[in-house]
Chains A and B, each alone.
Chain A
Amino acid sequence: MLNYIAVRILSTVPVMGIVALFVFILLRLAPGDPAAVIAGDYATAEDVERIRQQLGLTDPLLIQFFRWLGDILQGDLGTSIFSNKPVTVLIAQRLEPTLLLALTTIIFSILVAVPLGTIAAYRSGSAIDRLAMLFSVGGFSIPVFVLGYILIYVFSMQLKLLPVQGYKSPFTEGIGPFLSHIALPTLTLSVIFIALISRMTRASVTEVLEEDYIRTARAKGQSELRILLRHALRNAAVPIVTVIGIGIALLIGGVVVTESVFNIPGLGRLVLDAVLARDYPIIQGLILFFSFVYIFVNLIIDLCYTLLDPRIKY
C-alpha cells in the first residue's frame, strides 16, 4: 500500500513536468508582449526593449525555462509583472473563496445528484428517470453565465432574497453572510456538476442492479430500499467517485465564469485577468497550481478506491 502511494506520487512528477513544459511553451510562443503592455501608450521601442530585458524576456528560451523550473522547485512561482507581488501570495489571497465555492458546489451536487441518479436507475424508463435525465442533459446545455444572470435576476433583483454579488468569508464575517453570498454561485456552478454526477450514478447503479448479488439479496428477502443503499450504491461508488475527480477540472473551468459573474475575488478571476494582461508568471503559476490540485485530488481519490472496494489492492 505505502509502496503504491509512493509510486503513485512519483508517477505524478513526470505529469507535472509535462504540464510545466506545455504551459511554458504555450506562453512563450504567444505573440502578446508584456513589455509593450507595461510600457504603455507613450513608450518608444527603446523603452519596450529596456523593459523586456528587465523581465528577462530576451534570454534564450531554454535558459528562461530552467530558471523558472528551478524557482518552482524552490516553491517560488515568480512575481506578478504588474502588481509586483509574489504569485504564491496572490494565490493565497484568492484561494479561500475558490476553495469554499468548489467545496459547497461539490457537496451540494453530490447531495442532489446521487439520490437523483439512483432513483433514475432504479425506476429506469419511468417518468422520474426521464425527468432526471432531461435535467442532466439540460445541465450540459445551458451556458453557465446565462444561468448565473437568470438566477441573479430572479433571486436578487426581483425577489430580493440574496445579494447580487461578492464574497463574505465565513471566518471573518460569519457563516450567515457567507452562505447568503455563496448560495447563488453554488447553485449556478452545481447544475453542470449535478448533471455529470447523476448521469454517472445512473449508469453505474443500473449496471450494478444487474449483478447476481443483488438477486442474492432479494433471495434473502431484503427490502428494495436496503438493497439500493447497502448493496447497489456501495458497489456503484467507484465510478461515481472517479467522475467526481475528473469533474474537478470541469469545476475549475466553471469557477472562472461563475467568479466573474458573481464578482467573487477567487483564483478563476485571477487567471482571467492575468491572461488578458499577459502576466506570464501568474498564468504559469496558476495553471500549474490548478493542475497540481487536480492531480492531487485524483491521487487521493485513487487511494480511496481501496476503502470503497476491497478487491482493489496495491
Chain B
Amino acid sequence: MTTILDIQDLSVSLPPGGDREFAIEEVSLTVDSCEIVCVVGESGSGKSVTAFSVMGLLDRRALNPVAGTIRLADKDLLTIDDRTLRQLRGERVSMIFQEPMTALNPVMRVGDQIAETLEIHTGLSSTQRHARVLQALADVQLPDPKSLAISYPHQLSGGQRQRIMIAMALILEPKLLIADEPTTALDVTTQAKILALIKQLQSSRGMGVLFITHDFGVVAEIADRVIVMQNGRIVEQGQVDHLLNAPKHPYTRLLIDAVPSMTPPERRHSNDKEALAANRIHKIYGKSGWFGRGRVVHAAQDISLTLRRGETLGIVGESGSGKSTVARCIMRLIDPTSGEILIDSIDIAALRQSELRRFRHQIQIIFQDPYRSLNPRRTVGDSIVEGPMNFGVAAVEAWERARELMETVGLSAESLSRFPHQFSGGQRQRICIARALAMKPRILIADEAVSALDVSVQAQVLDLLDDVRQEFQLAMLFITHDLRVAAQICDRIMVMQDGQLVERGSTATVYANPQQQYTRELLAAAPGRRKFPQKVG
C-alpha cells in the first residue's frame, strides 16, 4: 500500500461576487494504490472541483488553487510546468467523466481517440498502437473490438461509450484513475456493469481510484473509503462499512437517511373510482422519406392502464423504455398513433385540439428538469395563474388560490412576484407542483419529477407529492427510472422495456417476487442493496 495521491490543505478560490469565497477549502485527502476512495456530496459540495484540480483541468478564469499541495508521483502538481503536467496526464493519472457522449469527440473514430493517448505519450508505430487499442477494447469487455474501433461515438450505446472512455483512460495503465460520476448518466443495469468493470480493473491493476459520486448506493457498491463533502469542506471520512453504518456527522446521516429504501412500505389498496383509463395505446415514430418509408420506431406498444383517484401508479423503466411516451400520450402533448384515453368515458385521444382544451385542466404534469419547466421571463405568479385564467377564473381569485398553493408546497406567498432564476431546483419543482394544482386537476403526472434533484431535496419533494395526492385525492401517474423512489411512492407499478409492458402489479408484490427476468435484473442492479442492511427489509 503506497500513497499515490496526497492532497494537503487544498483551497480553490471562486470568482468574487459568489455566495462563498472558496469552491473547496482546506481539503486534505490521500489515495493509496489498490483502493477506491469515494468522494460523496451534493451539487455544489466541491467534489468535482477537487477532482479537476488534481488533473489541472480547472477553468483558470473562474477557479484558482490558492493554497495547499497536490502531490502525485512525488511532484507537486500545482507548481510543475505545463509540459510535465501534460506528461503526467494520461500516463500517471487519467480521468473518466460523467457524460461519455459529450466527453468523446463526435467526429473522430473511437479507436483513433484511444490511440491518440498512445500517440502523445509513446513512440509506438501506428500498427502497434492499433494492436494496443484492440487489446484495450477487449480489456473493457467490449464485443468485436475490430469493428468497434472504427465506429463513431454516436453509433454506440451509453454503456459502450463509457467503456471506451475507460479503455482510453487506462491504456497506459496509470497509477491513479479519477472517475467523476462515471455512472450517473447511465441506466441502472448498465451502471451496475460499469461499476463492476471499474472495480475489477482496479484490483487487477492495483490502481488507486478517486471516485466522485452523489449516490450512496454507488458508494455502498464500490468504495473502500468514503469522504463526505459539504460546501467545499470535508465533513467526515472513514472506511465504507463503518461510515455507512455509524455516520458521525449529522450531514452524513441526513444523506444516508435520504436514500429511499428498496422495500415498499405497506399501502392500502385504493378502490376509489376510476379517474382515467388508457386502452391499447400505441405510438409509432416513423420518418417517411420522399421515397418510401424511413425506419419506424415503436415507442409504445399497446399499453393499457387504469388510474384510480387517490392512488399512485408508477411506470418504471430505463431510458428508451417508452415510459415518458406513454405519459405524454395521455397528456396529449403528443398524439397516440392508436388507442383510446378515457376520462369520464370520453375518449380524449380522439378529440381535436380545440375540443381538447376543455379537458386540459383535468390532467396536469410535472417535468423532470426544474430549470426548463418555468418560463424564465415570467414571474412565478404569472406562471401559476395562467392556467386557471385560461379557464375563466377571475384574476383576484386565481392569485388568491396561488397564494394558498404556495403555502401548500412550502413556499412563501411573496415568492409569487419573483422570477424562477431566484429559486433553487427543489423550490422550482415545488412551484411546478403548485402550478399543476392550481388547475384543480384530477390526474397528476410526474415525469421523472425528482430525478434531477439532490437526494435530500428529493426526499422532501417526494413527501410533498404524496401529501398533495392524499389532500386532493389525486390520481397520480409517476414516471421514474429510479427503483428506490418508485418503491417509496407507488401503490402499483408497471415495468416497461423497449416500449412494451414487462410486468405490472402492486409495488410490494413486484419487489418481493418479480415474475419476469428483466424485472429481476432491474431490481438486482439497484446499487447498494447489500450494504444497506437496515434498508433492505
User: How near does chain B come to A47, taking the closest CB pair, in angstroms?
Assistant: 54
Which residues of A lie under 8 Å from residue B169 when comparing CB positions? Answer: 219
B393 in the interface (beta carbon within 8 A): no
* Contact among A7, A220, A235 for B117, CB-based, below 8 A: A220
* Contact among B103, B290, B291 for A216, CB-based, below 8 A: B103
Which residues of B lie under 8 Å from residue A10 when comparing CB positions? Answer: 290
A207 in the interface (beta carbon within 8 A): no
Number of chain A residues whose Cβ lies closer than 8 Å to a Cβ of chain B: 24
Please state if B55 and A219 are interface contacts (CB–CB under 8 Å).
yes
B87 in the interface (beta carbon within 8 A): yes
Please state if B107 and A310 are interface contacts (CB–CB under 8 Å).
yes
B95 in the interface (beta carbon within 8 A): yes
Q: Given A215-B97, A216-B97, A220-B168, does the pair A3, B102 have CB atoms closer than 8 Å?
A: no
B57 in the interface (beta carbon within 8 A): yes
Please state if A221 and B106 are interface contacts (CB–CB under 8 Å).
no
Q: Given A10-B290, A311-B152, does the pair A221, B121 have CB atoms closer than 8 Å?
A: yes
Q: Given A3-B290, A10-B290, A310-B152, does the pair A221, B120 have CB atoms closer than 8 Å?
A: yes
Please state if A220 and B290 are interface contacts (CB–CB under 8 Å).
no
User: Per-residue 0/1 for B143-180: is the Cβ within 8 Å of any A Cβ (1 yes, 0 no)?
Assistant: 00000000010100000000001001100000000000
Please state if B87 and A221 are interface contacts (CB–CB under 8 Å).
yes
Please state if B86 and A231 are interface contacts (CB–CB under 8 Å).
no
User: Per-residue 0/1 for B90-117: is the Cβ within 8 Å of any A Cβ (1 yes, 0 no)?
Assistant: 1100110101001111111000000011
Q: Among A3, A6, A217, A223, which residue has the most Cβ atoms of chain B within 10 A? A: A217
* Contact among A215, A222, A310 for B57, CB-based, below 8 A: A215
Q: Which of A199-242 contact B (CB under 8 A)?
A: 211-213, 215-223, 230-231, 234-235
A219-B88 Cα distance, complex, nearest whole Å: 9
- Prevailing SS type, chain B contact patch: helix
Which residues of B lie under 8 Å from residue A223 when comparing CB positions? Answer: 86, 120
Which residues of A lie under 8 Å from residue B94 when comparing CB positions? Answer: 219-220
Which residues of B lie under 8 Å from residue A222 when comparing CB positions? Answer: 86, 116, 120
Which residues of A lie under 8 Å from residue B103 when comparing CB positions? Answer: 212-213, 215-216
User: Per-residue 0/1 for B282-315: is the Cβ within 8 Å of any A Cβ (1 yes, 0 no)?
Assistant: 0000000111000000000000000000000000
User: How near does chain B come to A167, taking the closest CB pair, in angstroms?
Assistant: 40
User: How near does chain B come to A305, taking the closest CB pair, in angstroms?
Assistant: 11
Please state if A221 and B89 are interface contacts (CB–CB under 8 Å).
yes
Number of chain B residues whose Cβ lies closer than 8 Å to a Cβ of chain A: 31
A309 in the interface (beta carbon within 8 A): yes
A308 in the interface (beta carbon within 8 A): yes
Please state if A221 and B107 are interface contacts (CB–CB under 8 Å).
no
User: Per-residue 0/1 for A275-314: is the Cβ within 8 Å of any B Cβ (1 yes, 0 no)?
Assistant: 0000000000000000000000000000000001111000
Please state if A221 and B97 are interface contacts (CB–CB under 8 Å).
no
Please state if B90 and A211 are interface contacts (CB–CB under 8 Å).
no
A218-B116 Cα distance, complex, nearest whole Å: 11
Which residues of B lie under 8 Å from residue A309 when comparing CB positions? Answer: 106-107
Please state if B89 and A220 are interface contacts (CB–CB under 8 Å).
yes
Which residues of A lie under 8 Å from residue B120 when comparing CB positions? Answer: 220-223
Q: Given A234-B108, A235-B105, does the pair A219, B154 have CB atoms closer than 8 Å?
A: no
Q: Among B106, B107, B117, B169, which residue has the most Cβ atoms of chain A within 10 A? A: B107
Please state if A216 and B104 are interface contacts (CB–CB under 8 Å).
yes
A216-B97 Cα distance, complex, nearest whole Å: 8
Q: Given A215-B57, A217-B116, A219-B94, does the pair A235, B106 have CB atoms closer than 8 Å?
A: yes
Which residues of A lie under 8 Å from residue B90 when comparing CB positions? Answer: 219-221
Please state if B106 and A310 are interface contacts (CB–CB under 8 Å).
yes
Which residues of B lie under 8 Å from residue A234 when comparing CB positions? Answer: 105, 107-108
Which residues of B lie under 8 Å from residue A219 when comparing CB positions? Answer: 55, 57, 89-90, 94-95, 169
Please state if A212 and B154 are interface contacts (CB–CB under 8 Å).
no
* Contact among B91, B95, B105, B291 for A3, CB-based, below 8 A: B291
Which residues of B lie under 8 Å from residue A230 when comparing CB positions? Answer: 108, 116
User: Per-residue 0/1 for A100-125: is the Cβ within 8 Å of any B Cβ (1 yes, 0 no)?
Assistant: 00000000000000000000000000
Q: Among B108, B168, B169, which residue has the most Cβ atoms of chain A within 10 A? A: B108
Which residues of B lie under 8 Å from residue A211 when comparing CB positions? Answer: 102
Q: Which of B367-395 contact A (CB under 8 A)?
A: none
Please state if B105 and A216 are interface contacts (CB–CB under 8 Å).
yes
* Contact among B99, B106, B116, B154 for A220, CB-based, below 8 A: B116
User: How near does chain B come to A186, taking the closest CB pair, in angstroms?
Assistant: 31
Q: Which of A1-53 contact B (CB under 8 A)?
A: 3, 6-7, 10
User: How near does chain B come to A241, taking the closest CB pair, in angstroms?
Assistant: 13
* Contact among B88, B105, B106, B291 for A217, CB-based, below 8 A: B105
Please state if B152 and A231 are interface contacts (CB–CB under 8 Å).
no
Which residues of A lie under 8 Å from residue B89 when comparing CB positions? Answer: 218-221
* Contact among A6, A215, A221, A231 for B91, CB-based, below 8 A: A221
Which residues of A lie under 8 Å from residue B117 when comparing CB positions? Answer: 220-221
B169's nearest neighbour on chain A, judged by CB, is A219
Please state if B107 and A235 are interface contacts (CB–CB under 8 Å).
yes
A222's nearest neighbour on chain B, judged by CB, is B120
Please state if A213 and B104 are interface contacts (CB–CB under 8 Å).
yes
Please state if A212 and B91 are interface contacts (CB–CB under 8 Å).
no
Q: Given A221-B91, A221-B121, A310-B152, does the pair A213, B290 have CB atoms closer than 8 Å?
A: no
A124's nearest neighbour on chain B, judged by CB, is B61
User: How near does chain A come to B184, taking the closest CB pair, in angstroms?
Assistant: 14
A308-B106 Cα distance, complex, nearest whole Å: 10
Please state if B289 and A7 are interface contacts (CB–CB under 8 Å).
yes
A221-B289 Cα distance, complex, nearest whole Å: 45
A313's nearest neighbour on chain B, judged by CB, is B154
Which residues of A lie under 8 Å from residue B87 when comparing CB positions? Answer: 221
User: How near does chain A come to B263, taking the closest CB pair, in angstroms?
Assistant: 38
User: Per-residue 0/1 for A130-174: is the Cβ within 8 Å of any B Cβ (1 yes, 0 no)?
Assistant: 000000000000000000000000000000000000000000000
Which residues of A lie under 8 Å from residue B57 when comparing CB positions? Answer: 215, 218-219
Please state if A310 and B154 are interface contacts (CB–CB under 8 Å).
yes
Please state if B291 and A212 are interface contacts (CB–CB under 8 Å).
no
A213-B154 Cα distance, complex, nearest whole Å: 13
User: Per-residue 0/1 for B265-281: is the Cβ within 8 Å of any A Cβ (1 yes, 0 no)?
Assistant: 00000000000000000
A252-B108 Cα distance, complex, nearest whole Å: 35
- B interface residues (Cβ-Cβ under 8 A, vs A): 55, 57, 86-91, 94-95, 97, 99, 102-108, 116-117, 120-121, 152, 154, 165, 168-169, 289-291
27 A-B pairs within 8 Å (CB atoms) are namely A6-B290, A10-B290, A212-B99, A216-B97, A216-B168, A217-B105, A218-B89, A219-B55, A219-B57, A220-B89, A220-B90, A220-B94, A221-B86, A221-B91, A221-B117, A221-B120, A221-B121, A223-B120, A230-B108, A231-B108, A234-B105, A234-B107, A234-B108, A235-B107, A310-B107, A311-B107, A311-B154
Task: Across the A-B interface, give the 9 residue pairs with the lowest CB-CB distance, nearest first.
Answer: A221-B89, A212-B102, A221-B86, A221-B90, A213-B105, A220-B90, A212-B103, A310-B152, A219-B95
- A interface residues (Cβ-Cβ under 8 A, vs B): 3, 6-7, 10, 211-213, 215-223, 230-231, 234-235, 308-311
**9 further A-B pairs in the complex, CB-CB below 8 A; given A6-B291, A216-B105, A219-B95:** A212-B103, A217-B105, A219-B55, A219-B57, A221-B89, A221-B91, A223-B86, A230-B108, A234-B108
